[in-house]
Structure 1
Amino acid sequence: MVLHDKPTGLKRFFKGFAYAWSGIRYGLAHECNMRFHACTALIVTICGVYFDITKLEWLFVLTAIGGMLALELMNTAIEKAVDLVTNETHPLAKAAKDTAAGAVLVYAIFSAVVGLIIFLPRIMNLLM
């Protein structure tokens, strides 16, 4: 495609959303961890509504959810890009994939801690 043939303005803007939505659908269709995080996000959102968490708590919960889903998509993108470059086991390919997965794990732990801080006292009160 020649540079001047690229869509501009609103057409380009909406095409970008279409590409992004396609990536999200790909992640949900092909990545087990993405589906797990999406289901967890739904459960946490339902819990947030049920326990009537504060606006500030919603900010933390939504940041954790959005960040987790975004990081999982980035992890998938890195894995697929590495797979495109080489099918052989290479130390740099392994490092790229492992580091991306490590970032997801760090954020998942952070998100779980946020969830425990917000929801555990409410769950304990419900059980008592």
Structure 2
Amino acid sequence: MSPFKGQTGLKRIFNAAGYSFAGLRAAFTGEAAFRQLVLINVLLIPLALFLDVSRVERALLIAVCLLALIVELLNSAVEAAIDRISLDRHPLSKNAKDMGSAAQFIALSLIAVVWACILLG
């Protein structure tokens, strides 16, 4: 069992929130792609709030934007873990990083498809 899993109750929630904010801070300061996605979200989410669409459509417009942030955080975490193991080039490391990149490409494509379907449909 991990020594980091010992907290319970409010202390655990407080610690988890701190770890989450530390992760967001690390992503924002260390990952240009994350900062670019934050900028996209800063532009698109307010736009979604002002568009004349249904509540479900508005929720979808916002959700796909947030999903891309989630995917980027996971992609960055995979890259950091791979780099922690070794900075040497290895086919499995390349595959892991490429798959993370592919996941982000799909998430960004999903933004384009959902926004196009709702705005043009």
* TM value normalised by structure 1: 0.85
Moved over 4 A (4+): 2-5
Q: CA deviation at 1:43?
A: 0.8
In the alignment, which residue of structure 1 is the partner of 2:32?
32
Q: Which moved more, 1:60-69 or 1:93-102?
A: 60-69
In the alignment, which residue of structure 2 is the partner of 1:80?
80
Q: Larger Rg: 1 or 2? A: 1
Q: CA deviation at 1:120?
A: 4.5
**One-letter amino acid of the structure 2 residue matched with residue 110 of structure 1:** L
CA distance in 2, matches of 1:4, 1:90: 31
Q: 1:48 to 1:4 in 2, by over 3 A?
A: closer
Q: 1:4 to 1:20 in 2, by over 3 A?
A: closer
In the alignment, which residue of structure 2 is the partner of 1:66?
66
Q: Secondary structure at the match of 1:15?
A: helix
Aligned residues of 2:28 and 2:35 also touching (Cα < 8 A): yes
CA distance in 1, matches of 2:117, 2:14: 39
How large is the RMSD of aligned CA atoms in angstroms? 2.0
**One-letter amino acid of the structure 2 residue matched with residue 39 of structure 1:** L
Superimposed CA distance per residue, residues 42-74 of structure 1 (whole angstroms, 9 cap, x where no aligned partner): 111121123233201122112202211110000
CA distance in 1, matches of 2:63, 2:4: 38
1:99 maps onto 2:99 in alignment: yes
CA distance in 1, matches of 2:79, 2:4: 32
* TM value normalised by structure 2: 0.89
**One-letter amino acid of the structure 2 residue matched with residue 9 of structure 1:** G
Q: 1:111 to 1:15 in 2, by over 3 A?
A: same
